Chains A and B, each alone.
Chain A
Amino acid sequence: MTTRLHVLLGDGGVGKTTLAASYAFGLARRGGRVALLSVDPARRLQGALGLALTEDAVSVPGAANLHAAVLMPETTLRRWATAGLPSASERDRLLNNRFFRVIADRLGATTDVIAAVRVAEWIEQDPSLTDVVIDTAPGRSGIEFLLRPGALVALLQGRLVMWLRRLAGGASHAAEVEHSHGLSARVLRGLGHVAGIEMLVELAALVSVVEQPFHQVLSRLEQAEAWIRQASTRILLVTTIREDAVPAARVLRDALRHTRLAPTAVVVNQTLSTDLGLELVHVDESVLDAEALAVMQYVRGYLEIQSSVLADARALAPRLIAVPSLPGLDSDLRRDKLGELGERLCAALTNSGRDAASTDPG
């Protein structure tokens, strides 16, 4: 049995995290064994679930088979890198490597790769999982989650890494690089010119130390890349009622298309009842105070934007799902409401119809 991957993509602030949480609830309520992973460095999933999350999966109360985890890149990376290194001296060499320290400590950009490998690890440890829901980082970085595994596999299997390993092999190879005319020597000399030869030696040292953990990470990356591309994978493009919502979502759709991936559905979050708009047309404005007038204009403007977003978003994916706004949930109510919304999302995704009438605001 294969595990189905569900990836939520979208710009910041569109409600990806809350939707991911409720979608996972929905899948679990329908009898799945579900893993929910938040890649968002902002760690917002905890707020949506009202639950403290860690790098290790924890069971979510209110759903029998739902486990959630948040990605902690530094912790995870250190754990993997050292797991394959039996001797303390090798571990020290790795943990003190300049490149490794930078990668582990600083750059949020590594998150996407680690997320991909983490998903593969999770499925490896729990093969009975039916679904994995991934709440990605906003916008462009979310796309990276889908693209970076392929790029990294290409690098790690490529010749540059092999040459670097040879360079780390000893002084004779370093001398070879200085004087040889082969392609490998030319490329390494070139990189040395850019970053300094000491840095190249340090990079080579990293490559040689991670030889063992590297094999496992590589096979997981390949696995993640394969999962992302399997036919059952669902990519949900999430957007909301905002002036530039559709152009922004279109940019993400095009970036996906560029790598031959396509969204399964576009989810328009925070929609409002259109009946309210129809009634506002007949309101007597002369009796309204300043605040009431402003609120009325706010609702009118909001519905205006909503109707153009819904009309334009249809072209982005085979399905459009409109989700009503859920304001002011307190945390007790939250999980229940989330589950309810999630079940409707699941139903909308499996319905044969083009649009999801059940969640359409009218």
Chain B
Amino acid sequence: MALILPKIVFILGKGGVGRSTVSAALGMELARRGDRTLVFGWTVSDPINPWFGLPPAGLTPSELSARLSVGNYGLDQTLKLYFVEHLKLPRFYKHVINGVHVRRLIEAAPGIGELFFIGHLWWLSTLAGAEAGLHFDRIVVDAPATGHGASLFDLPAVLSSLQATGLLGVEAERVIGMMSDPMRTGAFVVSLPEELAAEETVELVPRLTQRMSRPPLGVFVNRSVTGTITSREEPGSPESLAAQLSPASRTHLDGVYGELQGRAGFERALCKVLQGTTRHGVLPLTEQLFGTRAHHPRDIVHSLATEIRAHLDGLA
């Protein structure tokens, strides 16, 4: 199936599966291909820029390398940008939105953060060029961990059920239009060959398909082991290595190897279950520790970007 890459690519998945590394790697590869790319996250503090020796990115994107920028969402700054810069209502912002009573509502009410996150993505992909000189061909969204990440895709339905009018009504219509357009938004899921992550992916894919009325773009299986770990009958770790160790260390090695074998099993099962459920299928990214490379996150991003390049070339 021909490669489809919408303008905004969401990277979703359970916490700890490597969403930020995969987002950074995909961003790096898209920039290399010539797209002005933004990797936009929603974390307490942006992890990506510090991997490359730069201060953490804020709401205003900062350049990491040629054509590649990183930004990180914060509700307070986004509210200010929206009301002051975009709507040109500085006094309204100062006296109503930023007043103590409404601030309390904003801090306590659920879902406001999600709404402005998506709203800001809409702005970044449309008006940010004209209003702020920010031009991006692609936005890779390092979404929050699954629970909240998937709830981003519930937002359009929530908004229409609230039947908001006023400014919120306008926002709702824009967001709904954006999220339902396959050329403007799409999602990759990141998974791991591990029991809980694999289970969660198997639940997430149909849920996303239903919410978005189209299947996700694909599933990246990070830290893939099936290319290296063989499926074998006899128990115990590879004899050529185990034979050189003391009995105690041999037991520890058996533990590690058993876990790797378990991961290989989950990976094979995951590939089988996910067959045909996404547009571009399962895209494995090899376990980094099998190599002798340095294990700095920066090196991991570079090496994942190379693997992603091969996958995208294969799909094109």
Contacts and interface: CB of A to CB of B under 8 A. Distances in A.
Interface of A: 11-14, 41-42, 44, 47, 98-99, 101-103, 106-111, 113, 137-141, 143, 148, 151-152, 154-156, 158-160, 163, 186-187, 190-199, 240, 242-244, 247-248, 251-252, 254-255, 272-273, 275-276, 279, 282-284, 287-292, 294-299, 301-302, 304-305, 325, 327-328
Interface in B113-162: 113-114, 144-148, 151, 154, 157-158, 161-162
Contacts of A111: 147
29 contacts: A13-B15, A42-B196, A47-B195, A106-B158, A107-B158, A108-B148, A110-B110, A137-B145, A138-B14, A139-B144, A141-B144, A143-B44, A151-B104, A154-B108, A190-B92, A193-B167, A194-B167, A197-B165, A247-B47, A248-B47, A251-B43, A272-B252, A275-B248, A275-B252, A276-B249, A289-B238, A295-B241, A298-B260, A299-B253
Contacts, number: 243
Interface in B43-59: 43-45, 47, 50-51
Given A12-B14, A190-B102, A295 B257 contact: yes
Contact of B168 (A99, A199, A247, A289): A199
Given A196-B169, A198-B163, 15 more contacts: A106-B151, A107-B111, A141-B147, A143-B44, A151-B107, A190-B96, A195-B165, A195-B169, A196-B166, A199-B168, A288-B241, A291-B229, A291-B238, A298-B287, A299-B256
Interface stretch (B2-10, B288-296, B305-313): B288-296
B147 to A, nearest CB: 4
Contacts of B148: 108-109, 141
B30 interface: no
B112 to A, nearest CB: 9
A240 B165 CA distance: 47
B39 to A, nearest CB: 15
A291 B15 contact: no
B97 A252 contact: no
Contacts of A41: 147
A263 to B, nearest CB: 15
Interface in B183-242: 192, 194-197, 200, 228-230, 237-241
A187 B99 CA distance: 9
B259 A191 contact: no
B238 A305 contact: no
Given A140-B44, A194-B167, A154 B259 contact: no
Interface residues of B, number: 84
Contacts of A198: 163, 165
Contacts of A295: 229, 237-238, 241, 253, 256-257, 260
Nearest to B43: A140
Contacts of B151: 106-109
Contact of B161 (A102, A196, A244): A102
A156 B253 CA distance: 56
Nearest to B144: A140
Contacts of B168: 194-196, 199
B16 A12 contact: yes
B283 to A, nearest CB: 20
A254 to B, nearest CB: 8
B54 to A, nearest CB: 14
Contacts of B108: 148, 151-152, 154-156
B158 A199 contact: no
Contact of B249 (A98, A155, A275, A325): A275
Given A42-B146, A109-B111, A287 B162 contact: no
